[in-house]
Amino acid sequence: MTSQPSQQITGVYHRKIGDIVVTAISDGYLDGNLEVMRNVDLDKAHTILREAFRPARRTSVNTFLIHSKGRLAIIDTGSGNYLLPTAGMVQRNLAAAGIDPESIDTVLLTHMHPDHSAGLTDMSNGKLLFPNAELVMHENELPHWFDDGAMARADERAKKLFFQAGREQVAPYKNRTRLFKQGEVFPGVTAVPSHGHTPGHTAYLIASGNHQLMIWGDTVHVPEVQTAHPEAGMGFDTDLAQAAASRKRMFDRVSADGTLVAGMHLHFPGFARLARRGEAYALYPEMWVHSFEQE
């Protein structure tokens, strides 16, 4: 008698963008409810998820490797051991992909929330999980998360998971941190500031030849709901109105241009295209590509 599989094959997926290879690395997922959503009727939100055959709120957590010009970067680091046991799988999946974290020379952060930056350091022993990497992020992030006044005004959960966790994680990289405003931050990678979710929240445009990919960070957390209702935000948006404005600008940009997108909270592997539908939008996940052939 053969044994039944007990787990999925690991979460790794490659996508070629011109001469650049982007590899989606899954950190796992986080389950929650819709009570954290803002500026949307929750009954409508629940209906949207039910009609999409989705659990109440299952949030994929994705990171992305960028193989470009003989160098290797990772955009975001996952959640380490700070959140639910269904996440924190970046290091395991890097190993499955044959990637030694020591070969990664740049960590690009979209922002410093724990599901993005808490995989920088193993706090049980202080070990840098990307020991040869430069840490790169928008110049607005550190001043906010190291602001004692802002931390004092936060609730206890935010103090622990946003402010304290962020400080713990980035401190070991203090002497190898680079901050930017905008522009090219890695070969073929241009920062696209998209503030509001956090003060320095940033998307990254990957471009090579005639091919582009917009890795839009946390533009959405509940894709089905927020594409139908772009004004819908999250309770942990630092500036709810600014986040909504940034989301609408991003939606308009990528839908008008037909740009391939990827997101930290799009369902793995997270590559899709967005189309405008009146005042709303529709997200179309890209079909699975079995080779490195260009589209």
Tens of pLDDT, residue by residue over 196-210, are: 999 999 999 999 999
Q: Is residue 4 in some structural domain?
A: no
CATH at 279: 3.60.15.10
Can you give the pLDDT at residue 295?
54
Tens of pLDDT, residue by residue over 1-59, are: 778 888 888 899 999 999 999 999 999 999 999 999 999 999 999 999 999 998 779 99
Six token digits for residue 130: 């990307």
Can you give the pLDDT at residue 291?
77
Q: Is residue 293 in some structural domain?
A: no
Q: Is residue 78 in some structural domain?
A: yes
Tens of pLDDT, residue by residue over 141-188, are: 999 999 999 999 999 999 999 999 999 999 999 999 999 999 999 999
Q: How many domains does the chain have?
A: 1
Q: Is residue 294 in some structural domain?
A: no
Q: Is residue 295 in some structural domain?
A: no
| Residue 109 clears pLDDT 80, i.e. is over it | yes
Q: Which residues contact 268 (CB under 8 A, 6 or more apart)?
A: 11, 13, 24, 26, 60, 62
Six token digits for residue 93: 């999946």
Given a contact cutoff of 8 angstroms between Cβ atoms, the answer to whether 121 and 127 are in contact is yes
Widest pairwise Cα distance in the chain = 63
What's at 93, amino acid-wise? N
For range 63-73, the mean pLDDT: 98
Domain that holds residue 204: 12-285
Count other C-beta atoms under 10 Å from residue 116's C-beta.
27
Q: Is residue 25 in some structural domain?
A: yes
Q: Is residue 3 in some structural domain?
A: no
